[in-house]
């Protein structure tokens, strides 16, 4: 039996850096690339980049599901 795997990655736009990237995580319906995820985790709250990350993360909206 022969199986074929594609080495192509689908690029998605990161909500933090706004660049197309192929590897990252999904948070609700938004995509965060691994580079930004790593930077956010390592950023201290007194770093000016912290405020930027908070602003970008506001793009994530958790919509309530009503039954």
pLDDT tens readout for residues 2-51: 444 555 678 999 999 999 999 999 988 899 999 999 999 999 999 999 99
pLDDT of 58 above 60: yes
Q: How many domains does the chain fold into?
A: 1
Q: Is residue 6 part of a domain?
A: no
pLDDT of 67 above 90: no
d(C-alpha 55, C-alpha 17), whole Å: 12
Run of H or E including 35: helix 34-42
First to last CA, the chain: 47
pLDDT of 53 above 90: yes
Q: Is residue 27 part of a domain?
A: yes
Q: Is residue 66 part of a domain?
A: no
- Domain ranges, residue 52: 12-57
What phi, psi does 47 have (nearest 5°)? -75, 135
| Torsion sign over Cα 48, 59, 21, 33 | positive
Q: Judge contact between 31 and 11, C-beta under 8 A.
A: no
Q: Is residue 51 part of a domain?
A: yes
Q: Is residue 18 part of a domain?
A: yes
């Amino acid at each position: 039996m022969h199986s074929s795997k594609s080495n192509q990655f689908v690029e998605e736009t990161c909500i933090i850096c706004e660049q197309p990237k192929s590897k990252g995580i999904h948070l609700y319906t938004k995509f965060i690339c691994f580079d930004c995820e790593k930077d956010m985790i390592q950023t201290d709250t007194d770093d000016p980049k912290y405020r930027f990350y908070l602003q970008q993360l506001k793009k994530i909206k958790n919509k309530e599901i009503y039954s």
